[in-house]
Structure 1
Amino acid sequence: MKKLPIGIQSFEIIRSEPHYYVDKTLFIKKLMDTGKYYFLSRPRRFGKSLFLDTLRQAFLGKKEYFKGLFLENNWDWNTVHPVIRISFGSGVFRSMEELRTKIDSILTDIKNEFLIEYEKNAVNDRLMEAIVKISRKTGLNVVILVDEYDKPILDCIENKELAIKIREELKNLYSVFKDADAHLKFVFITGVSKFSKVSLFSGLNNLNDITIDSRYSALCGYTHDDVEEVFKDQMISVDKEKFRAWYNGYAWLGEKVYNPFDVLLFFDKKEFQPYWFETATPTFLIQLMGKQQYFVPSMEDIVLGRELIGSLDVDMIYVENLLFQTGYLTIKEKMPGEGMIRFRMGYPNLEVKYSLTNYFLNYLVQDYRKKENIRSNLYTCFEQEKPEAMEDIFQSFFASIPHDWYRKNQLAGYEGYYASIFYCYFAASGFDVKAEDATGHGRMDMSVFYKDTVYIFEFKVIENSTKGRAMEQLHGKQYHRKYAKEGTVIYLIAVEFSKEDRNIKNFEVRSLP
């Protein structure tokens, strides 16, 4: 069977005979009808490159690839436009020399494909020269498709000085698009992160950013209807609610989508595993969370302004915008109100929640056997309803963290660090956990639910103060009233820490009928 350009087709299911098609071509028509310059940011493995391939085949007039799809009868197949595709997806960029070599390779490929010759030397001059000569040679305006536009910067994001130099080199290249406007038909730029226009696209004022646009939320990824309709034979024996909870939930103000990589690997293996998460190692993000003393439990439910999540720059890197742009946080809703635009954010699904908290634990523990032993012992605590046994479990854990780790990460003095450890263990182990759980009397630090039992936690660092403040707050605020009903057992658990000892100083458990 001839392999269609991917993006028109959904991916081929591994070891499976049939091919499955998810039609995204309606979006191509909509883009063409409403504008000329577009930018889209999406996390890795969401099909950005596949969508660019689809765009390319459409502009090249390959009607045979679109049989039975929306675009077949809604496109001018008689006009074939020249397409320049620029991709920084392959390789790792660790120096300016590697970037310049890649750009030179791209310009050489353009020259060879369109049989033109360069008369100038600077990379921006050569790209401009290529666009003008190709347009004049063909008598048609040129389509520009840029894939992984930001990868050279992200590859060296930990080296700020180098990242800035690479950013400026790319800015020089992308600045061509503004001056080449008279020779351009359509421009589509995509990548993982969204750097500010000033950083990389200065002057390109008509660049339409469709990253957070409900009309294009499902441009990449599969909607639930896609899955139910296109993969219905694969879904027959699947627990649909669990499948949805594990993999659905990515949203950019519009319809929620699944990551295609997850869907197809699940259908192949029939196991609930973090397929998408395991394709990357977010070490820099985890280190940044530690450096900025990020309160991990806040990822359950956090309100952020558009400016904070909307753009990234080498000079202003925050945990929140990295979490959102890499796919570990997603938009739950746009908050009502005038003036400042705000969004309620949270984990997209269980895959991300379990995996990211587990990765954070790995960053701390490093001894995976010890971590797994602690998780097993926690299960025993909940099964036997012995919450007091958690004291020894977590004391052992905190004692195992090397002192050198604290020297590099000044975290031992703030409550959020300790609360984050408890939260990560519960979340990574699959327990139903709520952080910053709101009540009519304030917010409890954390609540964990297991069968008919609720465990309510309060955390405090109490250096040079009296023990017992955490339990006093639990009783005084009456947090437990939110869950007080017949048949429910409630435990109040006060955990107080010493930043000098870097461990639990006081652990109290009280049960309420």
Structure 2
Amino acid sequence: MKSNKKVKLPVGISDFKDVIENNYYYFDKTKFIENILEDGSKVKLFTRPRRFGKTLNISMLKYFFNVKNKDENKKLFENLEISKSEYFKKQGNYPVISISFRNYDEENWDDGLKTIKGILKRVYSEYKFLTEKMDDIEIEEFNSVRRGLDSVEWEASLINLSKYLYEYYGKKVVVLIDEYDQPIIDSYVKGYYDKAISFFKSFYGLVLKDNEYLEMGVMTGILRVAKENIFSGLNNIKVHSILNKRFTEYFGVLENEVEKALKDFGLEYNLKDVQKWYNGYLFGNTQVYNPWSIINFLDEKRLGSYWVNTSGNSLIQLYLQKLKEDIFDEFSKLLNKEKIFEVINESMTFGNLEVDFEKNIWNLFFHSGYLTLAEEYDENEEETYLKIPNEEILRMFSKMFIEVYFGNSNNFSKLTNALKNGNIEKLKAELNKILLENVGIFDISGIYKEQFYHGLMLGLILKLRNEYEVSSNGFAGKGRYDLLLKPKNILKQKEGIIIELKAVNIDSVKLSLEKIHEKLENECEIALKQIDEKEYISVLRNAGIDEVLKIGIAFFGKEFEIKFKRE
């Protein structure tokens, strides 16, 4: 690894040459090249979440293998791991075709095809010197692509280019395709999936299947969702997903790499916080950190939600809206830092999603990096335990929970401010607004119970995690409390807060609204009594918190009461 306390950080930079020549901080992943060459498969597909180093690795492979500018490119790898390998002799040995769809984002297929044509035109323009060895017909075909003519058989453009390169250099071609599935996912979300699939089935199939000019193909993507349509009959492909134990160290940042980076930038004292925020991913049997978040933390020198604020959540949001009635229990468990037991595999397709939304939503979350394995994966078992990997994703989940079930309400910030300031009347008023403005949520069958209210309150108070350690269903004293907020800085004289929730079953036909609220007030008293009898306050006292706000909240539909005591 190149390291220097004064080096720049490659925030948003994914071109390998740019990183090396401009002395950006680099986690040395060049041994990936050796592993690629040792792998016997003709075509390799690496599926990883976005922002986990796929594009930088594809760029690295391009500069390593490309016969074009090979002497200049060789200098990029001096003193890096691959330079010590016997496979370094493979440097500069092949013509390379490298394309990326990572920025594809189009509303319809007409615009999508224009974007694809633009990408291919630029690739052809890199190799305009190939016409030196072409006949007139080939020159005309080549320049038709560069001009973007409608007469071009665009599906065959990559296999044709591989033929031109082979005939020019006398060497077989390495084909690199970054984020192969982005146009597929985008088309699915926006409603033109069939047209995109029809194109890409031929486009990928021609260049990767039975291509006599192909030395090796390497593809990256987030999901393997399109396998049944795009790669039909492509028997020479090997998929390396986050469930596999091979290649795991090359996508993401390892523990020892993070420790060294923190030391290089004088931030080693932050290791525990960095672990809590950005670690937790289990790829195969290897623990990895999110590299995008690590680089941004080193640059900003503060903990924050960096990865989840980047683009790419459209498919997740689509299915959350479709399934919000069915996955509430699991969603609530994840917010509570609990594990869920779900079916996970590598063969998820869009067809699977359409047939069984509820089962495959968790597969989608997992492969997209929003959930991770809670224990090492047993490939002989269909089901496994999943969890939220770290603090960064937990905060995203809490925000997503509110958006999915309650929309974008401006009342949430007012509610959390009222809670941290101990203003119970204001808290009650803002909670009342939230419940009244979201009538539809109470029509969801089976959701009308304590866990729903627990999820609601947890989702709301997770907004306070900068100031409090927020925990749910934790052990304290003689039992388990519902919600607890422990001030992170006790010197600022903030109260510790314990909240006990009750969901009340009432025959509303027989009781007046006044009687319903009497029952709710009684349940609030029971909740406060439970806090005292179970000695939940002990966990705050042991942490040196002198002032504690105890809150009991009882719900019935949109009706509720709140009672509190200070100690």
The one of 229, 233, 257 equivalent to 1:226 is: 257
For 1:326 and 1:218, locate their aligned partners in 2 and report how far apart those are by CA, in whole Å.
18
Matched, 1:319 2:361: yes
How much does 1:458 deviate? 5.4
Superposed CA offset, 1:388-411 (max 9, x none): 996555333212x255x659x957
**Would the aligned equivalents of 1:461 and 1:496 in 2 still touch at CA under 8 Å?**
yes
How much does 1:190 deviate? 0.9
Q: Which residue of 2 aligns with 1:330?
A: 372
How much does 1:278 deviate? 1.7
SS of the residue corresponding to residue 375 of structure 2 reads strand
Matched, 1:398 2:435: yes
For 2:526 and 2:385, locate their aligned partners in 1 and report how far apart those are by CA, in whole Å.
28
Q: Percent same amino acid among aligned pairs? A: 22
How much does 1:157 deviate? 3.1
How much does 1:327 deviate? 2.2
The one of 265, 275, 278 equivalent to 1:247 is: 278
For 1:2 and 1:438, locate their aligned partners in 2 and report how far apart those are by CA, in whole Å.
45
What one-letter code is carried by the residue in structure 1 that aligns with 2:369? Answer: G
Kindly tell me: are residues 494 and 217 of structure 1, through their superposed partners in 2, closer, same or farther at Cα, counting changes over 3 Å?
A: farther
For 1:199 and 1:411, locate their aligned partners in 2 and report how far apart those are by CA, in whole Å.
36
SS of the residue corresponding to residue 234 of structure 2 reads coil
Matches within 5 A, 1:369-380: 370-380=411-421
For 2:502 and 2:193, locate their aligned partners in 1 and report how far apart those are by CA, in whole Å.
39
For 2:524 and 2:415, locate their aligned partners in 1 and report how far apart those are by CA, in whole Å.
25
Judge which range, 268-277 or 285-294, deviates more: 285-294
For 1:6 and 1:158, locate their aligned partners in 2 and report how far apart those are by CA, in whole Å.
26
How much does 1:43 deviate? 2.2
What one-letter code is carried by the residue in structure 2 that aligns with 1:102? Answer: T
SS of the residue corresponding to residue 75 of structure 2 reads helix
The unaligned stretches of length 5 or more in structure 1 are: none
Q: Which residue of 1 aligns with 2:209?
A: 179
Higher helix share: 2
SS of the residue corresponding to residue 157 of structure 1 reads helix
Matched, 1:189 2:231: no
The one of 426, 429, 448 equivalent to 2:484 is: 448
Kindly tell me: are residues 78 and 126 of structure 1, through their superposed partners in 2, closer, same or farther at Cα, counting changes over 3 Å?
A: closer
Q: Which residue of 2 aligns with 1:361?
A: 402
Matched, 1:123 2:134: no
Matched, 1:274 2:305: yes
For 2:380 and 2:232, locate their aligned partners in 1 and report how far apart those are by CA, in whole Å.
26
**Would the aligned equivalents of 2:189 and 2:314 in 1 still touch at CA under 8 Å?**
no
The one of 76, 93, 118 equivalent to 2:89 is: 76
Kindly tell me: are residues 77 and 425 of structure 1, through their superposed partners in 2, closer, same or farther at Cα, counting changes over 3 Å?
A: same
**Would the aligned equivalents of 2:163 and 2:213 in 1 still touch at CA under 8 Å?**
yes
**Would the aligned equivalents of 2:502 and 2:527 in 1 still touch at CA under 8 Å?**
no
Judge which range, 175-184 or 27-36, deviates more: 175-184
What one-letter code is carried by the residue in structure 1 that aligns with 2:486? Answer: Y
What one-letter code is carried by the residue in structure 1 that aligns with 2:229? Answer: S
For 2:311 and 2:108, locate their aligned partners in 1 and report how far apart those are by CA, in whole Å.
21
Superposed CA offset, 1:125-156 (max 9, x none): 34333323422432222111111211112224
Q: Which residue of 1 aligns with 2:37?
A: 32
What one-letter code is carried by the residue in structure 1 that aligns with 2:60? Answer: T
Kindly tell me: are residues 136 and 438 of structure 1, through their superposed partners in 2, closer, same or farther at Cα, counting changes over 3 Å?
A: farther
SS of the residue corresponding to residue 214 of structure 1 reads coil
For 2:197 and 2:502, locate their aligned partners in 1 and report how far apart those are by CA, in whole Å.
43
Matched, 1:45 2:45: no
Larger Rg: 2
For 1:331 and 1:255, locate their aligned partners in 2 and report how far apart those are by CA, in whole Å.
11
SS of the residue corresponding to residue 392 of structure 2 reads helix
Kindly tell me: are residues 78 and 164 of structure 1, through their superposed partners in 2, closer, same or farther at Cα, counting changes over 3 Å?
A: closer
SS of the residue corresponding to residue 373 of structure 2 reads strand
For 1:229 and 1:38, locate their aligned partners in 2 and report how far apart those are by CA, in whole Å.
31
Kindly tell me: are residues 495 and 339 of structure 1, through their superposed partners in 2, closer, same or farther at Cα, counting changes over 3 Å?
A: farther
For 1:100 and 1:80, locate their aligned partners in 2 and report how far apart those are by CA, in whole Å.
33
**Would the aligned equivalents of 2:9 and 2:25 in 1 still touch at CA under 8 Å?**
no
Superposed CA offset, 1:82-109 (max 9, x none): 1111222234222222232233334434
Kindly tell me: are residues 66 and 303 of structure 1, through their superposed partners in 2, closer, same or farther at Cα, counting changes over 3 Å?
A: same
**Would the aligned equivalents of 1:354 and 1:429 in 2 still touch at CA under 8 Å?**
no
Kindly tell me: are residues 171 and 350 of structure 1, through their superposed partners in 2, closer, same or farther at Cα, counting changes over 3 Å?
A: same
The one of 555, 559, 566 equivalent to 1:496 is: 555
What one-letter code is carried by the residue in structure 2 that aligns with 1:57? Answer: Y
How much does 1:287 deviate? 5.4
Q: Which residue of 1 aligns with 2:238?
A: 208
Matched, 1:297 2:351: no
Kindly tell me: are residues 11 and 358 of structure 1, through their superposed partners in 2, closer, same or farther at Cα, counting changes over 3 Å?
A: farther
For 1:158 and 1:436, locate their aligned partners in 2 and report how far apart those are by CA, in whole Å.
36
**Would the aligned equivalents of 2:62 and 2:96 in 1 still touch at CA under 8 Å?**
yes
SS of the residue corresponding to residue 215 of structure 2 reads strand
Superposed CA offset, 1:333-358 (max 9, x none): 1356x842333222221122123312
The one of 70, 75, 81 equivalent to 1:64 is: 75
**Would the aligned equivalents of 1:40 and 1:191 in 2 still touch at CA under 8 Å?**
yes
SS of the residue corresponding to residue 38 of structure 1 reads strand
The one of 361, 364, 388 equivalent to 1:347 is: 388
For 2:290 and 2:225, locate their aligned partners in 1 and report how far apart those are by CA, in whole Å.
23
How much does 1:201 deviate? 1.3
The unaligned stretches of length 5 or more in structure 2 are: 1-6, 132-137, 143-150, 488-494, 509-515, 543-547
Q: Which residue of 1 aligns with 2:113?
A: 100
How much does 1:217 deviate? 2.2
For 2:524 and 2:384, locate their aligned partners in 1 and report how far apart those are by CA, in whole Å.
34
**Would the aligned equivalents of 2:99 and 2:176 in 1 still touch at CA under 8 Å?**
yes
For 1:356 and 1:485, locate their aligned partners in 2 and report how far apart those are by CA, in whole Å.
29
SS of the residue corresponding to residue 89 of structure 2 reads coil
For 1:283 and 1:418, locate their aligned partners in 2 and report how far apart those are by CA, in whole Å.
27
